[in-house]
Structure 1
Amino acid sequence: MDDFDDEIQSAFEAGQHNANTFKLLNNWCKHAEISRSGGVGIVEAQTGLPIGHMGMQCKYSKHFSMQCWLLEDSVYSFYKKCCRDCDKRVPVSIPNILEFVEPRLQKAEERKKKEFELIELKKKAQCERKLKRSELRPNLSFEETFVLDLLDELDIDALESNDPRLEKLAHLAPEVFTPQIVELLLQAVEGEDLPYSHHAAKALITAPIDNKNKITVAIYLIKRHSVFSDVVNVVLNNSYALNLEQLKITLRAFASLATEPPPSSRMYSGHSKPLDVEPLKRLFGTREAHINEVLSDFFKGTELGKIQTATRVLIGLNNNTLFSKFLRDIVALLMRRRILLPNERRESSIIFYLRKAVSLCLLEQPELTDEVIQKYLADNDPVGVDESNRIYGSILRFLNSDTQIGNAHKIAFRRLLWAAIEHPDNYKNKALDTFRHTRDEFSVLAHENFDDLIGAAAILTEKYEQIDKKNIIEVTGSFFDELERNNKKNAINSLQSSLVNLAAVGAKHKGNRRIEDFLGLYRNLPKNQEQMRGCMITHISQMVTGISSLNLVLSDWYGALMDESVLVRASAIKAWENVPFEVVKNFPDLFFDAFSLALSDPYKMVHKSAVSVLRYRSFPEEKRLLIKSPLWTLVLVYSKESDDGDFLVDCINLLVSLCLSDSECKGAHGQLLSAILLKQEGSALYHAVNQSGYRFKTLPSFLKVALKAIRDSYTRDISISDCKDIILSSTKDELINSKKDIVGALELLKPLKQGDFLEAITYATALSISGESAIGTNLFNDFVNSIPEETRHLLWRIQTELVATALQIESEIQVGNLSNESTQKWQELIKKLEKEYEERAEFRDFPPGFNF
């Protein structure tokens, strides 16, 4: 995040601006209120300034202004819609919002005045041009006057850019374009920009005119980003006649055809155009010497547009000679961009093209490019280091099974490996991205760098242990110091795991001989190197592809499952997660017996690892009796503890999904598990509902668990959507048995907030299904009475009253006594609702400052 500091400064300035606007708004009117999006950022928490998207509202208005980054924009929009002629305003003090509203209104009036004056000037100029064309008519033939008639029609401000009439006339009747007509159209192209200038140029590009004028027309169209086949052909057929300035303009256009647009522009375009490198290559073939001079001039200058054009030309041509000549220029610009390109940020298009160009250089000339990059790393500039890691990473990012591994890939892999080891705990280190997720496409590289991967992983063990040694030596620090140490240890552990995993992938790629090398290294590790031993045994299953490889690793795997080290035993359990499904049937019974013992291991690390692994890679169905009893034991033991509810829920989830039959889930066993879940609080309760699959929902009284969770503050702070789904999918009997809980949850919503309306409808649906519509009617009538009788809440009030009326109609139908009063009230409310929607539709607009 190159512009992180700038973003903080921008947020701080916006907060100061909003704080001042807030004071002015409070002085403007007693009824003015602020609405804002949820959440508080770090900058806002530290400064106390109002930072974030905010809008203005008032109880006497149905209009809610769009929330904007600058509150001033929302206030100005709301003022124009609602405040200008409001008779409910209660002034408080001065100064108020008129300080910025009146200047904005004045500028808006000035803009309208200038626009009106400009329109008048354009009309006058159009009349003068029409008069001049009429003076030409006596000297023209009848056919030539057709062009004048068409120009009279095209000489308007509202002319569509794709009007084809003049261009079609040039195709169908080229003889009409006589020297006098061509001269008239050339004046529109070469002189003042007229409404039909672009159309005239598109007509002239195919008209029978001399090459000099055609080049002028083609350059005109290129400048206006209208590059089509006729324009390209004119330029290429007359490439020797292009002067230096015209050549530069053409280079920029042809480079755009040959290279993809930057991500910042692709974001807003619906589709991407196919690339066409032929025009650029043909132009280079005819003007190679001049293009070399232009590129040298562009790279020596400081104009960003020219540097970007030169870089795109290099990318489009993909010429080794050009890459060699300008390699140091593009590497220097990229790795010294903090000095050479100080104002360019992460979304910068020029940085995008420089990165792409250096990546192409590395692919085409790996040794030379690597040598240049390493020279620029001598001063250890952090931006240069970051860019070098990005360059090497780009070579490996799109590696796939069909890619031919070359020197560029080998160089990039080694550079990134040791760059990752150098700063394994720095999240900004881009080299780490390559090793975060192991991919089979790296198998060849992993095989070739097997020793380096294992050696790097061993170095990480030393770095990991060094953090613990520093912790012993240093005086006990704060909570944040401890958090930072843990983050560093986790980062190192994660990288070590990835590297060992890669080594295992490389060993698998080579076959049994390399697998034996991997196991030999593992066996020779000292017993006290638990971190490295555990890491290697975790990834031992990566090398299992069949019976032969399984036989090679089984003895070491058995030993690890029974190892005296808790860490190694837990790591051996984790290895089960990566076993291929098709190989599971080849595992001997003894392995499953040993694995099941982990669930009875007295150390939490071991049996928690076993439960965690079984969530992602379950036992064969015929072996699940081995884990049923240990899982029941874990459930009963942890149900008596209150500090590890999340793990308890995982145990119940495994027990239900793997070991219990449908009849057991619906019987006494399921009743016991629901009772245990119902005792949970906070995160465990949320976890129970969030992780509930089909089998959980079949547990008796599980609806009560969902109703308890939906009322729990922990769940409400995250999401209640799963709870609502469980309520709506419950059977009628379950809803009847949980009637008190439903009513209790609904009563907790008093007074009803607008954000809780959908939740209230969920309870209303549940009461309706359970046949308790009358209770819902009373509660929703209470909600209606609790909603303030303010203009802005009218829609919400009508919607709530509609629900209450619907429940009333249902309850009357249930007792067989439907009244005309209820149905009439329903129809009246529907009419009110439609009217309210129509009125509110008039307020939909976008405030100033809102950018798409």
Structure 2
Amino acid sequence: MVGNRDYQRAVEDGRRNQEVKVLIQNWCGHARIEKFGGTGMIEKITGFPIGNHSMGCDHAPPARMATRLLEDAALDFYDHNCVGCKLRHPLRLPNLVQVVLERDRKKAEWEADKTRTEKALNDAFDSRQRIRDGLRLDATAPVAALIEDIQLLDQKRTQDAAEKILATASLAPEVFTGALVEHLFNLVEASETWASDTALRCLSLLSADYERLVACAMHRISSGSDLAIAGEILVSHLNLVKEEQVGAAVKSLCFYAAPPRNQFDFSEPERHPEPLQALAVMFAKPVEKALDTLIGSRVAKDVSVAARVMHLLYVDVTFPVGLVRGLAAKLVRIDTLLDSDRDSEIDGIALDLSRALVSAFHADDQQVDTLLANYYTSASSIGEARIAGVYSDLLRLPQSRFDSEEPILNLKPYGTALRRILQWASVSQNTEVLKEVHEALRHFPDQLAPVVTEQIEFLLGTAALVDQALQNLMDSKIAPEDADNFLAHLERDSKIQQVAGLRAAILEWVSSAAAVNSIAADNFISFINSDVPWPEQFRSALVKALPPLMKTGASVNAVLPYLYGALVGESALVRMAGARALQELRSSRVKDLPSLVHDAFLLLLADPIKGVHQSAVNTLTRISLPEEYGRQINLRLLNIFEAYSQSIGEDAEFLVTCVDLLVSRLHKDVSALAKWGPIFIAVLLNLDAATVLRRSHLWMLKRLIHVEGFPDLLLRLLQYAREVEHHDEELVTLLRELPESGVQLIQDKLANFCQDLAFGRVLGAACIEVLTAADAWDAAVEVANQSHQSLGDSIQMKVRKQYAELTLLATKLEQHLAKGAVPEALECSDKWHRVLRGIQKSRGNQ
């Protein structure tokens, strides 16, 4: 979903692109704007060119790039094609030159800055050189050699030069005179980055002035440089660190402890938390204050790194209350307390804050839960969702542990989190909060079965309350002023689906816990077998929640009476739920059910209620009944097919499902398929092609490939795919597999279909291939000629048109050989080789 910040940035980019578009159009009458990719909703609404665009011209090669900001692609095209162009057709002012001059001005400023920077660097180098010249006076040969090594490092900045100096410090420390040691200290204190790492490493081996060494290390840490050696010095001489040095060093040590992940590399970056941990032990209050300052910052990176280090600093200990409060306050109001123009960045930092609070929750769930609940009561709707997200992350975050067999030692935080989100699920009207609750319950971890067992009555009661909320929502009316408002109806339907999904997720947790815990199983079975007159929609939800529980013979036997009662009950909604419950079981499990259940399912196929027999048919696409029921199932499916084929209406997609199911069941019966296959084809021809292609029905179409009328159906599907500019590889595969007799029947229609395939090379090649295989030479040549003629004579199309000509000549060659016209075939062969040489020459020049 696009947030407000991303929307505004997209609009600003589009507005700038519109300005550049006008400048390009004014620049040259041949220039045009080419779009790369589709048209988004924001572009459709505003009319601005948003997305990747490039500049194009018929007199130039294709653009080398398409960019989000059009001016970048336009400048690249201008530099490579427009400079010195003699075909330019200028129109009006202002034009693209305005953008070019602005680019050149910025480039000149950059060159001037670069010159000034180089001069300053050269002056600094000369100053250091004078200092080294002074150190050479009266220096011994080894000392002079060391000074030369330092100068080489200053000149080359290579690792080899640094390692040579370090080797001298390790093997011959006596070479480092007092003056040289002082020089190294001065380099570090002057923040000479080219030498500071090497100097610190040497000083850690040479100097006895540890207080000054620690001060230099803290200085480098505060500047964010040389963190590896500076961190080692800090840990080794922690007692010499001064409290006033701590605050400035915490930020850099946070990045060293928990560096941000590279967005192009999914591997975890290497972490080094030891220096920060040591500092936090010795100076707890200053570190806490510095972290609180980072959390309160408006800079996105500062907030993110502070949140990321929390679980590294406070391992199995209670978080400082001030930090927890700061994390929660920042999370609730992050949209206003952070300077960022990207919603994705806001969401990423919110996730970091949430995970930090999850760590705090593990350390002291009661304290953090109380604090978060207090913030929740006064938060905005988006703030409520952010707080709910903490609980959702807590229940979803350790999925790697849930996937393993390792038990969770402390389940108490999970129980606290589950109680809280269930409370919100039953009372909240905030759709974003309900979304977070649903996300938390989307997957059930077996290790939480004891927690669910302990709170199973709370879960079932919450499910009942959510069901009542769902009923109230379904009974609610759209306001009269919104009766014709499509979005109001869409929002209401979306809310209904959301609440229904939440109810299903809660019941699935109960059923899943019952599958692995006998106490939970007894409680759930007692609940569904109780005499409480639940509403039929809640009873249907209970039935649909049964499959996770039905994993063992004992549990199946325990719920079988309830399942059987659902299949034969009075309520159509509950019967539908019974069919869907069977759909979630494996075929082997369904076959093991008693015959009474199979007989009850057969009754569903003859049920007069549309939703019931449609659910039964959809169930048959997933499961198989014992073989002795095959004939009865086929007869009832054929009855349903005949009934729906008389009046299709809004049930077209279900009718395709029926055909698919019948074809899969009858394709091995040659006589049955011969009888019903043409009827299936006739019905599919009357359906909208989009409905036939909406789902993947490749196997159905493959099994009908030899049936009378199938070539016409395939051609119709291909025509639709071309109309909507959708390339379907499955349809091309079917075309290639079409029998020769089928191709011959539609060869003229296929030739007409291929009249405009300039951008359908794969489909055009497939048509030529099948036509030549069926000896339909005239039609194949016609298709190849149309493909060649449909391509323009522009520079961009030159190579493609040459390849299309190769295909045309090859097709004519085969045609002449088939007719025995050898001279004409030799002439085509000569032309083919000439065109090929031309392609090789032009591609070589490029």
Would you say same fold, with TM above 0.5? yes
Equivalent residue for 2:680? 673
The verdict on how the C-alpha distance between 1:632 and 1:438 changes in structure 2, with shifts beyond 3 A counting, is farther
Confirm or deny that 1:592 pairs with 2:598: yes
Confirm or deny that 1:417 pairs with 2:422: yes
Confirm or deny that 1:565 pairs with 2:571: yes
CA contact (8 A) 2:170 2:205 kept: yes
Deviation of 1:458 (Å):
2.4
The verdict on how the C-alpha distance between 1:718 and 1:774 changes in structure 2, with shifts beyond 3 A counting, is closer
Q: Which piece of structure 1 moves more, 207-216 or 143-152?
A: 207-216
Q: Which piece of structure 1 moves more, 73-82 or 359-368?
A: 73-82
Q: TM-score, normalised by structure 2?
A: 0.88
Equivalent residue for 1:844? none
The verdict on how the C-alpha distance between 1:325 and 1:71 changes in structure 2, with shifts beyond 3 A counting, is closer
The CA distance in 1 between the partners of 2:297 and 2:7, in whole Å, is: 32
Equivalent residue for 2:63? 64
Q: Deviations over 1:657-708 (max 9, x none)?
A: 3454264587444454344434432322214764536963665365553332
> Any residues of structure 2 matched to 1:283-362 within 5 Å, and which?
283-288=279-284, 290-292=286-288, 294-295=290-291, 311-319=307-315, 320-324=317-321, 326-341=323-338, 343=340, 345-348=343-346, 350-362=349-361
The letter of the residue matching 2:332 is: M
The CA distance in 1 between the partners of 2:284 and 2:121, in whole Å, is: 45
In structure 1, runs of 5+ residues without a counterpart are 841-852
The CA distance in 2 between the partners of 1:90 and 1:653, in whole Å, is: 59
Deviation of 1:46 (Å):
2.7
CA contact (8 A) 1:608 1:647 kept: yes
The SS at the match of 1:431 is helix
The letter of the residue matching 1:614 is: L
Equivalent residue for 1:218? 217
Q: Which piece of structure 1 moves more, 58-67 or 817-826?
A: 817-826
Equivalent residue for 1:447? 453
Match among 543, 556, 577 for residue 562 of structure 2: 556
The letter of the residue matching 1:180 is: A
Equivalent residue for 2:742? 737
Equivalent residue for 1:255? 254
The verdict on how the C-alpha distance between 1:30 and 1:776 changes in structure 2, with shifts beyond 3 A counting, is same
Equivalent residue for 2:770? 766
Match among 482, 487, 496 for residue 489 of structure 2: 482
The SS at the match of 2:436 is coil
CA contact (8 A) 2:32 2:55 kept: yes
The SS at the match of 1:35 is strand
CA RMSD of aligned residues (A): 3.5
Q: Deviations over 1:394-426 (max 9, x none)?
A: 110035163346221111112112323334682
> Any residues of structure 2 matched to 1:90-109 within 5 Å, and which?
90-109=89-108
The verdict on how the C-alpha distance between 1:659 and 1:776 changes in structure 2, with shifts beyond 3 A counting, is closer
Deviation of 1:37 (Å):
3.2
The SS at the match of 2:67 is coil
The CA distance in 2 between the partners of 1:828 and 1:170, in whole Å, is: 72
Equivalent residue for 1:29? 28
Confirm or deny that 1:709 pairs with 2:717: yes
CA contact (8 A) 1:447 1:510 kept: yes
The SS at the match of 2:377 is coil
The CA distance in 2 between the partners of 1:189 and 1:457, in whole Å, is: 65
CA contact (8 A) 2:218 2:249 kept: yes
The CA distance in 2 between the partners of 1:226 and 1:329, in whole Å, is: 28
The CA distance in 2 between the partners of 1:118 and 1:602, in whole Å, is: 85
Equivalent residue for 1:847? none
The CA distance in 2 between the partners of 1:507 and 1:490, in whole Å, is: 25
Match among 774, 778, 801 for residue 797 of structure 1: 801
The CA distance in 2 between the partners of 1:408 and 1:95, in whole Å, is: 66
CA contact (8 A) 1:396 1:409 kept: yes
The letter of the residue matching 2:732 is: K
CA contact (8 A) 1:277 1:316 kept: yes
The CA distance in 1 between the partners of 2:145 and 2:669, in whole Å, is: 86
The verdict on how the C-alpha distance between 1:230 and 1:455 changes in structure 2, with shifts beyond 3 A counting, is same
The letter of the residue matching 1:335 is: V
The letter of the residue matching 1:268 is: F
The letter of the residue matching 2:67 is: C
Equivalent residue for 1:722? 730
The letter of the residue matching 2:333 is: R
The CA distance in 2 between the partners of 1:233 and 1:4, in whole Å, is: 44
The CA distance in 2 between the partners of 1:267 and 1:636, in whole Å, is: 56
Confirm or deny that 1:543 pairs with 2:556: no
> Any residues of structure 2 matched to 1:484-563 within 5 Å, and which?
484-511=491-518, 514-515=521-522, 518=525, 520-521=527-528, 524-526=531-533, 529-563=535-569
Equivalent residue for 1:849? none
How many residues align structurally? 831
Deviation of 1:59 (Å):
0.4
CA contact (8 A) 2:243 2:283 kept: no
CA contact (8 A) 1:53 1:67 kept: yes
Match among 265, 282, 288 for residue 278 of structure 2: 282
Q: Deviations over 1:246-272 (max 9, x none)?
A: 43354334434444x44xx33134632
CA contact (8 A) 1:26 1:32 kept: yes
Deviation of 1:36 (Å):
0.9
The CA distance in 2 between the partners of 1:88 and 1:796, in whole Å, is: 24
Equivalent residue for 1:655? 662
The CA distance in 2 between the partners of 1:10 and 1:44, in whole Å, is: 12
Q: Deviations over 1:108-130 (max 9, x none)?
A: 23423543554455456546654
Equivalent residue for 1:426? 431
The letter of the residue matching 1:450 is: I
Equivalent residue for 2:790? 786
The CA distance in 1 between the partners of 2:460 and 2:375, in whole Å, is: 29
In structure 2, runs of 5+ residues without a counterpart are none
The CA distance in 1 between the partners of 2:441 and 2:725, in whole Å, is: 35
User: Which has the bigger relative contact order, CA under 8 A and spacing at least 6?
Assistant: 1
The verdict on how the C-alpha distance between 1:786 and 1:6 changes in structure 2, with shifts beyond 3 A counting, is same
The CA distance in 2 between the partners of 1:388 and 1:272, in whole Å, is: 26
Equivalent residue for 2:263? 267
The verdict on how the C-alpha distance between 1:567 and 1:308 changes in structure 2, with shifts beyond 3 A counting, is closer
CA contact (8 A) 1:56 1:65 kept: no
The CA distance in 2 between the partners of 1:522 and 1:403, in whole Å, is: 32
Q: Which piece of structure 1 moves more, 51-60 or 774-783?
A: 774-783
Equivalent residue for 1:239? 238
The CA distance in 1 between the partners of 2:305 and 2:290, in whole Å, is: 10
Confirm or deny that 1:645 pairs with 2:648: no
The letter of the residue matching 1:403 is: I
Deviation of 1:482 (Å):
2.9
